Structure 1
Amino acid sequence: MKANRIMSLQLLLSIMLIVGFSSCSKKSSSKNTSRATGWNMDSKKGSSTKKQEAGPGLVFVEGGTFTMGKVQDDVMHDWNNTPTQQHVQSFYMDETEVTNSMYLDYLDWLKSVYPPTEEIYKNIYEGASPDTLVWRNRLGYNETMTNNYLRHPSYAEYPVVGVNWIQATEFSNWRTQRVNEALLEKNGYLKKNAKTLDVTAESNFDTETYLNSPTSAYGGNEDVVLKGGRGARKTPKAGKDGTVTEPKNVYAQRSSGILLPEYRLPTEAEWEYAAAADVGQREYNIYKGQKKYPWSGGYTRSGKRQSQGDQLANFKQGNGDYGGIAGWSDDGADITNEVKKYPANDFGLYDMAGNVAEWVQDVYRPVIDNEANDFNYFRGNQYTKNKIGADGKVEIVNKDNMKYDTLSNGRIIARNFPGQIAQVPVDEQETYLRQNFDKSDNINYRDGDKQSTRYYNFGDSESDNEKAKSDKVMYNSPKHNVTTDSLGKMVRKYDKSSKRTTLINDESRVYKGGSWRDRAYWLDPAQRRYFPQDMATDYIGFRCAMSRVGPKADKKRSARN
């Protein structure tokens, strides 16, 4: 009897184990089964979901709705801050402004890969270098900063200045390539340390080139661009019929989830939303009230017991007062200051007011047109596509077809680099019968194009309008022309017309935030100013942003923040 009971228990236990294993196998197989076709997707790359990781230096900013352009004071009477309600998608932003040490990493890389001693590359390094002469003043002695600010280790963690908008954009692009290059190396798709040992002007990495034509990355060097991730490069075995099947999808793709979106300058809406940090105003699903600065309250001084009376940002406090008296400095600086010296805002971002003002992506216009769009607002879209060569393949830039621009100050700057895919504007092939865009350059849409001027007659044909009103445009700014001759000397042709009425044009970019040179009025995140994109100052720096892919938030919404 006892033996029968033991056998029954053993049989029951065996059945339970079999059922358990079968359910486990069902679970594991159903996990990799396509919900669309029911096929087993075990062999398909990138079939699993993967959460985006924050890139180096970035902080997550959860998106939301806010009132853009709402200022408490308008003593300048610019009339360019009409409040509009906008929605911003979640994104990432640099925790601090880009520092001198970060920018020097960029310059060192350019110098080693594109030696300025070679004639063909001599303008690359010089074109990317900050203008250290921005510190000079007709009636001031600032040679110490002119000679030391960029390179002296004492200023290593200070925000970089003397960088124009174009240089800031090119730095962001360079940063994208270096970060993704390191991620591919980490996951076994690039040879270890190739980014320092094997890189040359004609053999380097570009993300879009790798995605579109992996065998063209690093100049087509198969010893550097590896097939398959770590541990996946075994020699394929022959099947039963003796044929050897080469593995597919051996290079990383977007679906692999390894590569990050590009680093870029934040849009004006993103920057203002991140600086205002209204997330700190929410409690029990209500807003506690409005605030004037990136921190809570309407005052620039700290109310905390330990730091009571100290300034919460670095700015000009009055005529001739950049930092208080000796031994009693209430903001700890006279020019810029080391990053992270002042408290972060509620998103964890430092120096969103004071220290340096910051470039954003947008082309400046006095009006934010929320009637056209109230989601991820941005003015400055210029859509391009990959250039296809005569052989039907994407055209890769090399040293012979690189493009340079001569800026208004005569400086020559590189606009593309060897290893990148050449770009051309989109044409009617992409725009035909589209409702969302109809041309490549959308900078002037509804504010600067022919249709938006008061001279445009909607009854006339396009050719009649163009002929009769060719000199009557909305933003009639000067049109200087600066070029270089065959000897490299500047040829200046100034616009001497007396009929110019504005400085606003398609090269005017927005910059946000107050700086060490500004009064507290400019610390309000909603304040906006503009400056030519190819000029630099000693008070404008920048920080990078990155778009968020995937869910809006990392964690569930809570009643109390």
Structure 2
Amino acid sequence: MKQIKGLLAVVGGTVVIASCSLIGGNKNAKPTAINPGQLSTATNLKYNDEETGGFQVKDFEGQPDAPNTVFIEGGRAVMGSYEEDVMAYRDNVERTVSVASFYMDETEIANIHWLEYMHYLAKDSSQEVYQASLPDTLVWVGKLAFNDPYVDHYLRYPGFRYFPVVGVSWTQATNYARWRTDAVNRELMKESGQDLPEVPAGGRIPLESGVVIPAYRLPTEAEWEYAAQALIGTQWLEEMQTHQRIYPWDGHALRNPYGKQMGFFLANFKRGRGDYAGIAGRLNDGALITSYIYEFPPNDYGLYNMAGNVSEWVMDVYRPLSYQDFDDLNPIRRDGFLDDAKGYNSDFEKNPQGFTSLITDKARVYKGGSWKDVAYWMSPGTRRYLDQDSATATIGFRCAMIRAGSNY
């Protein structure tokens, strides 16, 4: 009996030793996503056993860093504008929501990024796809304005490489995000040394590989507004935020109150009627049109130009009552649920083309002010909309991405 007990002890000891070696050498350690061990805690079957065709568990070191992105820690915030609703739209009443952590581009997508996209589409896609990617450079045309140089030069001239791309529709921006996801993930697979799997057209590299990133996409309206406010900069003690923000910085002023940049504007916007940049010798924001994507100080999340320069597309379909209808966790409006577009058009059934409103399921929200807007529109809670296939010289975009495997 003693021999049997000794044998069991040895066997038990072997199991314990094996278990310890499987999870970091600590017998009290629990399996994690990064260190799952070599045995299933549910069945005791071995992972990655080639002889028996065991379940494959790839190495995982956490979500890879995605180019140009900044981590935005999620939490509770109040959506809506803190400015007076001078337009009387009543479409941005205050609403408390919670937003999960995510990643966002630190800058707008620039001309050089879009030209890179066009280059690879010309190499790898059909002529039709390439043509569909071309920005509308005619957005600069004005019947009573000499903007011809921007039509010819803004997109392609090297001096404008790191200025935000404009003339891009919501649909084009969404297509760019899909291409970018595939391009980055293919490069990550190569760097990992793993064999690149066969991916069907329109498919994606399997997430189980552990070395690819989630999809780039346009941010939701809630994500964009949350990131623009950057209220993490007002954090005090525990759950205290001392104040809200009208703009992506503290205070109601538009000029920098500190240091060598004291007195200079904090964003690129239209100061007043006919005043785009100030007077020669003392230009206020230094830009008649768009500006260098790193020109102005970033907000407390490290994001540049969340007020001014260009307005930005977000994912949401526009409805005036979205802020009342939203879920209060990760809100988004994808379509006309609870607020059908028929309600905004007279006699829709008999005359579907006789619209009396621009509000349809193709009306997409864009956020923030632009180089052509007065300061009112730089408040993160303001919102406007445009058809998803339209483009202007004042709207650009940046991408966002979920933080995968996170519960906050």
Give the alignment's TM-score, normalised by structure 1. Answer: 0.63
Partners in 1 of 2:272 and 2:153 — Cα distance? 27
Q: In structure 1, how many angstroms separate the alpha carbons of the residues matched to 2:275 and 2:153? A: 23
1:329 equivalent among 273, 283, 289 = 283
Match of 1:182, SS state, is helix
2:323 & 2:369 partners in 1: Cα distance? 24
TM-aligned CA deviation for residue 478 of structure 1: 10
CA shift, 1:38, in A, is: 2.6
| 1:40 Cα offset (Å) | 3.1
| Alpha-carbon distance between aligned partners in 2 of 1:525 and 1:369, rounded to the nearest angstrom | 14
Superposition deviation, residue 549 in structure 1 = 0.8
Find the counterpart in structure 1 of residue 128 from structure 2.
Answer: 123
State yes or no: 1:260 paired with 2:198.
no
1:172-211 superposed matches below 5 A: 172-190=177-195, 209=203, 211=205
- Out of 328, 338, 343, the residue aligned to residue 292 of structure 2 is 338
**CA shift in 2, pair 1:210/1:277, >3 Å:** closer
Count matched residues: 375
1:126 Cα offset (Å): 1.7
Alignment of 1:88-103 (within 5 A): 88-103=99-114
On the 8 A contact 1:98/1:160 being kept in 2, the answer is yes
Task: Report Cα offsets for 1:27-47 as digits up to 9, x if no partner.
Answer: 113542322223333534326
Instruction: Name the CA shift for 1:510/1:206 in 2 (closer, same or farther; >3 Å).
Output: farther
Residue deviations 1:233-268 (CA, integer Å, cap 9, x gap): xxxxxxxxxxxxxxxxxxxx4222112111100010
Provide the residue aligned with 1:67 in structure 2. 78
Change (3 A) 1:84 1:323: same
Deviation at 1:53, TM superposition (A): 2.1
In structure 2, C-alpha distance between the alignment counterparts of 1:257 and 1:71, rounded to whole Å: 42
Cα distance in 2 for residues equivalent to 1:477 and 1:543: 36
The one of 238, 255, 258 aligned to 1:304: 258
| Deviation readout 1:247-302 (Å, 9 max, x if unpaired) | xxxxxx42221121111000100000000111111011211111110011111100
1:48 shift after superposition: 5.6
Secondary structure at 1:167 match in 2:
helix
Query: 3-state SS of the aligned residue for 2:103?
Result: strand
Contact 1:132 1:150 in 2 (8 A): yes
Partner of residue 162, structure 1? 167
Aligned to 1:541: 396
Offset from partner CA, 1:48-103 (integer Å, 9 cap, x none):
65411231111111111111113222111111111111111111100100000000
Partner deviation per Cα, 1:193-212 (whole Å, 9 max, x = no partner): x9xxxxxxxxx96686355x
RMSD of aligned C-alpha atoms?
A: 2.5
- Please state how far the C-alpha of 1:25 moved relative to its aligned partner: 4.8
Name the CA distance, whole Å, in 2 between partners of 1:372 and 1:355: 29
Contact 2:326 2:332 in 1 (8 A): no
Change (3 A) 1:48 1:186: closer
SS in 2 for 1:511: strand
Letter in 1 for 2:289: I
How far did residue 183 of structure 1 move? 1.3
SS at match of 1:306: helix
Where do residues 226-305 of structure 1 align in structure 2 (5 Å cutoff)?
253-285=206-238, 286-305=240-259
The question of 1:506 aligning with 2:361 is answered yes
| Counterparts of 2:363 and 2:265, CA distance in 1 | 32
Q: Which has the larger radius of gyration?
A: 1
Query: How many angstroms apart in 1 are the aligned matches of 2:152 and 2:202?
Result: 38
Q: What is the distance in 2 between the residues matched to 1:551 and 1:273?
A: 18
Unaligned residue ranges in structure 2 (runs of 5+): 1-12, 24-36, 50-54
Q: Counterparts of 1:518 and 1:446 in 2: how far apart (Å)?
A: 32
Matched, 1:36 2:30: no
- In structure 2, the residue matched to 1:142 is 147
Tell me how far apart the structure 1 counterparts of residues 274 and 215 of structure 2 sit (CA, whole Å): 42
CA contact (8 A) 1:315 1:354 kept: yes
Percent identity at matched positions? Answer: 43
In the alignment, the residues of structure 1 paired with residue 201 and residue 208 of structure 2 have an alpha-carbon distance, to the nearest angstrom, of 14
Deviation at 1:343, TM superposition (A): 0.5
1:107: how far off?
A: 0.5
> 2: CA distance between counterparts of 1:140 and 1:206?
48
Q: Is the 8 A contact 2:81 2:246 kept in 1?
A: no
Q: Tell me, yes or no, if structure 1 residue 27 matches structure 2 residue 20.
A: yes
- Bigger Cα displacement from structure 2, 362-371 vs 173-182: 362-371
CA distance in 1, matches of 2:58, 2:118: 39
Cα distance in 2 between the residues matched to 1:102 and 1:139: 31
* Structure 1 spans left out of the alignment, 5+ residues: 1-19, 115-120, 195-203, 212-252, 381-442, 450-472, 480-493, 554-561
Separation (CA, whole Å) in 1 of partners of 2:298 and 2:134: 29
In the aligned structure 1, how far is the partner of 2:375 from the partner of 2:228?
15
| SS of the residue 1:172 aligns to | helix
Whole-Å Cα distance in 1 between the matches of residues 250 and 216 of structure 2?
29
Letter in 1 for 2:251: G
> What amino acid does structure 2 have at the position aligned with 1:64?
G
Corresponding residue number in structure 2 for 1:8: none
Tell whether the 8 Å contact from 2:154 to 2:160 is kept in structure 1 after alignment: yes
Cross-structure match for 2:8:
none
Cα pair 1:29 1:40 within 8 Å, conserved? no
TM-score by length of 2: 0.86
One-letter amino acid matched to 2:343: M
**TM-fit CA distance, 1:372:** 5.5
Amino acid at match of 2:89: D
Answer yes or no: is 1:374 the counterpart of 2:325: no
The separation in 1 between residues aligned to 2:271 and 2:346, in whole angstroms, is 34
How much does 1:190 deviate?
4.4
Can you list the C-alpha shifts for 1:299-337, whole angstroms capped at 9, x where unaligned?
A: 110001311110000000011111111110121211000
Deviation at residue 23 of structure 1 after TM alignment: 7.5
Question: Which amino acid counterpart does residue 303 of structure 1 have in structure 2?
Answer: P
Q: Go from structure 1 to structure 2 and tell me whether the alpha carbon gap of 1:24 and 1:109 turns closer, same or farther (over 3 Å shift).
A: same
Paired AA for residue 513 in structure 1? G
Shift of 1:26: 4.6
Aligned mates of 1:207, 1:522 — CA distance in 2: 41
* Secondary structure at 1:107 match in 2: helix
CA separation of 1:345 and 1:155: change in aligned 2, threshold 3 A? same
Cα distance in structure 2, aligned partners of 1:23 and 1:39: 15
Deviation at 1:379, TM superposition (A): 1.1
Aligned: 1:355 with 2:309: yes
